[in-house]
Amino acid sequence: MSYEGWILLTASLVGLSCGIIGVFLILRKMVMMADAISHTVLLGIVTAYLITQELNGMPMLIGAIIAGLLTAVLVQWLHSLGVQQDASIGVVFTTLFAIGVILIATKTGNVHLDVQHALMGEITFVPWHTMDVPLIGEIPQATFILLIVLAIVLVMILAFYKEWKITTFDAALAASLGLPVMLMHYVFMTLVSITTVASFDAVGAIMVVAMLITPAAAAYLWTDRLSVMICLSALFGVISAISGYYIAVWIDTSISGSMAFATGIIFVISFIGSPNHGYFARYIRPVTIQD
Protein backbone atom coordinates (compact mmCIF):
# COMPACT_ATOMS: atom_id res chain seq x y z
CA MET A 1 0.00 0.00 0.00
CA SER A 2 1.11 3.54 -0.60
CA TYR A 3 2.47 5.77 2.12
CA GLU A 4 -0.67 7.87 2.00
CA GLY A 5 -2.87 4.76 2.05
CA TRP A 6 -1.31 3.53 5.30
CA ILE A 7 -1.83 6.89 6.94
CA LEU A 8 -5.48 7.04 5.88
CA LEU A 9 -6.08 3.46 7.04
CA THR A 10 -4.38 4.07 10.38
CA ALA A 11 -6.30 7.28 10.99
CA SER A 12 -9.59 5.61 10.03
CA LEU A 13 -8.93 2.80 12.49
CA VAL A 14 -8.41 5.42 15.20
CA GLY A 15 -11.69 7.04 14.18
CA LEU A 16 -13.55 3.71 14.32
CA SER A 17 -12.31 2.50 17.71
CA CYS A 18 -12.51 5.89 19.35
CA GLY A 19 -15.95 6.55 17.87
CA ILE A 20 -17.38 3.32 19.29
CA ILE A 21 -15.81 3.67 22.74
CA GLY A 22 -16.69 7.36 22.85
CA VAL A 23 -20.44 6.68 22.74
CA PHE A 24 -20.25 4.82 26.03
CA LEU A 25 -17.91 7.41 27.54
CA ILE A 26 -20.51 10.09 26.91
CA LEU A 27 -23.52 8.04 28.00
CA ARG A 28 -21.69 6.91 31.15
CA LYS A 29 -20.75 10.53 31.83
CA MET A 30 -17.08 9.62 31.94
CA VAL A 31 -15.64 12.13 29.51
CA MET A 32 -13.22 13.35 32.17
CA MET A 33 -12.01 9.78 32.70
CA ALA A 34 -11.07 9.60 29.01
CA ASP A 35 -9.07 12.78 29.39
CA ALA A 36 -7.39 11.31 32.47
CA ILE A 37 -6.56 7.94 30.93
CA SER A 38 -5.29 9.51 27.72
CA HIS A 39 -2.63 11.19 29.87
CA THR A 40 -1.83 8.44 32.37
CA VAL A 41 -1.17 5.84 29.67
CA LEU A 42 2.01 7.85 29.11
CA LEU A 43 3.25 6.56 32.47
CA GLY A 44 2.41 3.02 31.38
CA ILE A 45 4.27 3.43 28.10
CA VAL A 46 7.35 4.94 29.75
CA THR A 47 7.42 2.25 32.42
CA ALA A 48 7.10 -0.46 29.78
CA TYR A 49 9.99 1.15 27.90
CA LEU A 50 12.16 1.35 31.02
CA ILE A 51 11.58 -2.32 31.75
CA THR A 52 11.99 -3.69 28.20
CA GLN A 53 14.32 -0.98 26.85
CA GLU A 54 12.46 -0.92 23.56
CA LEU A 55 9.43 0.77 22.07
CA ASN A 56 7.51 -2.37 21.35
CA GLY A 57 3.77 -2.81 20.82
CA MET A 58 2.86 -5.53 23.30
CA PRO A 59 4.64 -4.29 26.45
CA MET A 60 3.36 -0.79 25.70
CA LEU A 61 -0.20 -2.09 25.43
CA ILE A 62 0.11 -3.96 28.72
CA GLY A 63 1.71 -0.95 30.41
CA ALA A 64 -1.14 1.22 29.20
CA ILE A 65 -3.79 -1.19 30.45
CA ILE A 66 -2.17 -1.24 33.89
CA ALA A 67 -1.86 2.56 33.95
CA GLY A 68 -5.48 2.98 32.81
CA LEU A 69 -6.81 0.57 35.43
CA LEU A 70 -4.60 2.17 38.08
CA THR A 71 -6.17 5.51 37.20
CA ALA A 72 -9.69 4.07 37.43
CA VAL A 73 -8.99 2.33 40.74
CA LEU A 74 -7.28 5.37 42.32
CA VAL A 75 -10.10 7.69 41.23
CA GLN A 76 -12.70 5.32 42.67
CA TRP A 77 -10.70 4.97 45.88
CA LEU A 78 -10.24 8.72 46.45
CA HIS A 79 -13.90 9.25 45.67
CA SER A 80 -14.91 6.64 48.25
CA LEU A 81 -12.83 8.53 50.82
CA GLY A 82 -14.96 11.60 50.28
CA VAL A 83 -13.08 13.51 47.56
CA GLN A 84 -15.39 14.80 44.80
CA GLN A 85 -15.41 12.69 41.65
CA ASP A 86 -14.04 15.37 39.32
CA ALA A 87 -11.47 16.51 41.87
CA SER A 88 -10.18 12.97 42.36
CA ILE A 89 -9.88 12.54 38.58
CA GLY A 90 -7.94 15.80 38.37
CA VAL A 91 -5.57 14.88 41.18
CA VAL A 92 -4.90 11.32 40.03
CA PHE A 93 -4.27 12.00 36.36
CA THR A 94 -2.05 15.04 36.74
CA THR A 95 0.06 13.21 39.32
CA LEU A 96 0.48 10.06 37.25
CA PHE A 97 1.09 12.08 34.08
CA ALA A 98 3.70 14.16 35.88
CA ILE A 99 5.53 11.01 36.96
CA GLY A 100 5.51 9.92 33.32
CA VAL A 101 6.92 13.26 32.19
CA ILE A 102 9.69 13.17 34.82
CA LEU A 103 10.64 9.63 33.85
CA ILE A 104 10.81 10.56 30.16
CA ALA A 105 12.88 13.64 30.83
CA THR A 106 15.42 11.97 33.10
CA LYS A 107 15.58 8.32 32.13
CA THR A 108 14.95 7.86 28.46
CA GLY A 109 17.56 10.22 27.04
CA ASN A 110 17.55 10.40 23.29
CA VAL A 111 15.10 7.66 22.46
CA HIS A 112 12.23 8.31 20.12
CA LEU A 113 9.96 9.08 23.06
CA ASP A 114 9.44 12.66 24.08
CA VAL A 115 6.66 14.72 25.58
CA GLN A 116 5.91 16.50 22.32
CA HIS A 117 5.48 13.20 20.51
CA ALA A 118 3.37 11.70 23.30
CA LEU A 119 0.99 14.63 23.40
CA MET A 120 0.60 15.37 19.70
CA GLY A 121 1.51 12.09 18.02
CA GLU A 122 3.13 11.97 14.62
CA ILE A 123 1.16 9.94 12.15
CA THR A 124 3.60 10.79 9.36
CA PHE A 125 6.14 8.42 10.92
CA VAL A 126 3.69 5.54 11.24
CA PRO A 127 4.27 3.93 7.80
CA TRP A 128 8.04 3.70 8.41
CA HIS A 129 7.75 1.56 11.54
CA THR A 130 6.78 -1.70 9.95
CA MET A 131 6.66 -5.29 11.15
CA ASP A 132 6.09 -8.64 9.47
CA VAL A 133 2.84 -10.37 10.26
CA PRO A 134 2.08 -13.89 9.02
CA LEU A 135 -0.59 -13.93 6.27
CA ILE A 136 -0.74 -10.12 6.10
CA GLY A 137 2.87 -9.38 5.30
CA GLU A 138 4.61 -6.14 6.05
CA ILE A 139 2.40 -3.71 7.93
CA PRO A 140 3.10 -0.62 10.05
CA GLN A 141 3.24 -1.61 13.69
CA ALA A 142 0.78 1.08 14.82
CA THR A 143 -1.73 0.00 12.16
CA PHE A 144 -1.48 -3.63 13.22
CA ILE A 145 -2.01 -2.79 16.89
CA LEU A 146 -5.00 -0.62 15.96
CA LEU A 147 -6.50 -3.52 13.99
CA ILE A 148 -6.19 -5.82 17.00
CA VAL A 149 -7.63 -3.22 19.35
CA LEU A 150 -10.55 -2.52 17.02
CA ALA A 151 -11.27 -6.26 16.89
CA ILE A 152 -11.21 -6.49 20.70
CA VAL A 153 -13.45 -3.43 21.05
CA LEU A 154 -15.95 -4.75 18.49
CA VAL A 155 -16.12 -8.20 20.05
CA MET A 156 -16.50 -6.85 23.59
CA ILE A 157 -19.18 -4.31 22.66
CA LEU A 158 -21.19 -6.71 20.48
CA ALA A 159 -20.93 -9.74 22.78
CA PHE A 160 -22.09 -7.78 25.83
CA TYR A 161 -24.21 -5.21 24.04
CA LYS A 162 -27.28 -5.50 26.22
CA GLU A 163 -25.16 -5.63 29.38
CA TRP A 164 -23.36 -2.42 28.35
CA LYS A 165 -26.71 -0.86 27.61
CA ILE A 166 -28.32 -1.68 30.95
CA THR A 167 -25.27 -0.92 33.12
CA THR A 168 -24.98 2.42 31.34
CA PHE A 169 -28.65 3.36 31.56
CA ASP A 170 -29.52 2.04 35.00
CA ALA A 171 -26.66 0.57 37.02
CA ALA A 172 -28.87 0.04 40.07
CA LEU A 173 -31.32 -2.12 38.14
CA ALA A 174 -28.44 -3.99 36.49
CA ALA A 175 -26.94 -4.76 39.89
CA SER A 176 -30.31 -5.87 41.26
CA LEU A 177 -30.60 -8.28 38.31
CA GLY A 178 -27.26 -9.76 39.31
CA LEU A 179 -25.04 -8.23 36.63
CA PRO A 180 -21.41 -7.49 37.63
CA VAL A 181 -21.62 -3.71 37.37
CA MET A 182 -18.21 -2.93 38.88
CA LEU A 183 -16.43 -5.58 36.83
CA MET A 184 -17.97 -4.10 33.68
CA HIS A 185 -16.80 -0.66 34.75
CA TYR A 186 -13.22 -1.88 34.93
CA VAL A 187 -13.52 -3.84 31.69
CA PHE A 188 -14.72 -0.64 30.07
CA MET A 189 -11.78 1.29 31.54
CA THR A 190 -9.52 -1.37 30.03
CA LEU A 191 -11.11 -0.84 26.63
CA VAL A 192 -10.62 2.92 26.97
CA SER A 193 -6.97 2.33 27.90
CA ILE A 194 -6.13 0.06 24.98
CA THR A 195 -7.99 2.28 22.52
CA THR A 196 -6.09 5.28 23.81
CA VAL A 197 -2.66 3.69 23.68
CA ALA A 198 -3.26 2.21 20.25
CA SER A 199 -4.26 5.64 18.96
CA PHE A 200 -1.34 7.23 20.76
CA ASP A 201 1.23 6.82 18.02
CA ALA A 202 -1.11 8.22 15.43
CA VAL A 203 -2.76 11.19 17.08
CA GLY A 204 -1.20 11.60 20.53
CA ALA A 205 -2.72 11.92 23.97
CA ILE A 206 -4.48 15.25 23.54
CA MET A 207 -5.99 14.57 20.15
CA VAL A 208 -7.22 11.14 21.16
CA VAL A 209 -9.63 12.90 23.52
CA ALA A 210 -11.08 14.81 20.55
CA MET A 211 -11.46 11.55 18.61
CA LEU A 212 -13.09 9.84 21.60
CA ILE A 213 -15.54 12.54 22.56
CA THR A 214 -16.47 14.79 19.65
CA PRO A 215 -17.76 12.25 17.06
CA ALA A 216 -19.85 10.58 19.78
CA ALA A 217 -21.19 13.92 20.98
CA ALA A 218 -22.15 14.76 17.39
CA ALA A 219 -23.79 11.35 16.86
CA TYR A 220 -25.82 11.87 20.05
CA LEU A 221 -27.52 14.82 18.32
CA TRP A 222 -28.72 12.81 15.34
CA THR A 223 -30.47 9.76 16.77
CA ASP A 224 -32.59 8.31 19.56
CA ARG A 225 -31.26 4.77 19.21
CA LEU A 226 -28.09 3.49 20.82
CA SER A 227 -27.11 1.18 17.94
CA VAL A 228 -27.50 3.99 15.39
CA MET A 229 -25.54 6.33 17.64
CA ILE A 230 -22.62 3.88 17.72
CA CYS A 231 -22.60 3.46 13.93
CA LEU A 232 -22.86 7.22 13.33
CA SER A 233 -20.11 7.97 15.83
CA ALA A 234 -17.77 5.47 14.15
CA LEU A 235 -18.64 6.95 10.76
CA PHE A 236 -18.00 10.51 11.98
CA GLY A 237 -14.67 9.32 13.37
CA VAL A 238 -13.62 7.95 9.99
CA ILE A 239 -14.82 11.04 8.13
CA SER A 240 -12.88 13.27 10.53
CA ALA A 241 -9.75 11.17 10.15
CA ILE A 242 -9.80 11.21 6.35
CA SER A 243 -10.92 14.79 5.87
CA GLY A 244 -8.46 15.87 8.56
CA TYR A 245 -5.63 14.33 6.61
CA TYR A 246 -6.55 16.16 3.41
CA ILE A 247 -7.00 19.44 5.27
CA ALA A 248 -3.50 18.98 6.67
CA VAL A 249 -2.06 18.25 3.24
CA TRP A 250 -3.93 21.17 1.72
CA ILE A 251 -2.77 23.82 4.17
CA ASP A 252 0.46 21.98 5.09
CA THR A 253 -0.05 21.62 8.82
CA SER A 254 -0.23 19.07 11.67
CA ILE A 255 -2.24 15.99 10.68
CA SER A 256 -3.51 15.12 14.16
CA GLY A 257 -4.44 18.75 14.74
CA SER A 258 -6.44 18.81 11.51
CA MET A 259 -8.22 15.60 12.40
CA ALA A 260 -9.29 16.99 15.77
CA PHE A 261 -10.36 20.16 13.98
CA ALA A 262 -12.45 18.07 11.58
CA THR A 263 -14.27 16.42 14.49
CA GLY A 264 -15.09 19.92 15.71
CA ILE A 265 -16.53 20.88 12.33
CA ILE A 266 -18.71 17.77 12.28
CA PHE A 267 -19.95 18.60 15.75
CA VAL A 268 -20.83 22.18 14.78
CA ILE A 269 -22.69 20.97 11.68
CA SER A 270 -24.60 18.47 13.84
CA PHE A 271 -25.32 21.05 16.51
CA ILE A 272 -26.83 23.41 13.96
CA GLY A 273 -28.44 20.97 11.58
CA SER A 274 -29.70 17.97 13.54
CA PRO A 275 -33.45 17.48 12.98
CA ASN A 276 -34.21 16.42 16.57
CA HIS A 277 -31.76 18.10 18.88
CA GLY A 278 -30.16 20.75 16.70
CA TYR A 279 -30.12 24.45 17.38
CA PHE A 280 -32.76 25.23 14.76
CA ALA A 281 -34.87 22.13 15.41
CA ARG A 282 -36.84 23.86 18.14
CA TYR A 283 -38.16 26.35 15.61
CA ILE A 284 -39.24 23.64 13.20
CA ARG A 285 -40.51 20.85 15.43
CA PRO A 286 -43.91 21.32 17.07
CA VAL A 287 -43.77 21.53 20.84
CA THR A 288 -44.36 18.20 22.57
CA ILE A 289 -47.38 18.34 24.82
CA GLN A 290 -46.54 17.17 28.31
CA ASP A 291 -49.34 15.93 30.48
Partner 1 sequence: MSVLQVENLSASYRKNKVLYDVNFDVQPGSLTGIVGPNGAGKSTLLKVMLNLHPALSGNVSFFGSTLAKTKSKVGYVPQRGSVDWDFPTNALDVVLMGLYGKVGWFKWPSKDDKELAMESLAQMGMTDYADRQISQLSGGQQQRVFLARALVQNADLYFMDEPLVGVDAATETAIMTTLKRLKSAGKTVMVVHHDLLTVEDYFDHVMLLNKTIIKYGKTEEVFTKKNVQRTYGGTLRWMKEA
Name the residue among 63, 62, 64, 87 with its Cα closest to residue 75.
87
Within 62-101, the residues that bind partner 1 by CB under 8 A are 82
Stretch that binds partner 1, among 68-76, 135-143, 216-224, 244-252 (CB under 8 A): 216-224
Measured between alpha carbons, how far is 88 from 194 in angstroms, rounded to an integer? 22
Q: Residue 84: helix, strand or coil by DSSP?
A: coil
Name which of residues 20 to 39 contact partner 1 (CB under 8 A): 27, 29
Q: Which is nearer to partner 1, 113 or 181 (CB)?
A: 181
282 binding partner 1? (CB under 8 A): no
Could you tell me which of 56, 49, 45, 51 has the C-alpha nearest to residue 142? Answer: 56
- The 10 Å CB-count burial string (b at 16+, else e) for 200-223 is bbbbbbbbbbbbbbbbbbbbbbbb
Find out whether 143 and 13 touch, Cβ atoms under 8 Å.
Answer: yes
Which residue's CB is nearer to partner 1, number 81 or number 251? 81
Binding test (CB under 8 A) with partner 1, winner from 137, 225, 283, 287: 225
CB of 183 to partner 1, least distance (A): 13
If one asks whether residue 291 binds partner 1 (CB under 8 A), the answer comes out as yes
Q: Which of residues 154-183 bind partner 1 (CB under 8 A)?
A: 159-160, 162-163, 165-166, 168-170, 172-179
One-letter identity of residue 92: V
Where does this chain bind partner 1 (CB under 8 A)? 27, 29, 82, 159-160, 162-163, 165-166, 168-170, 172-179, 220, 223-226, 228-229, 288, 290-291
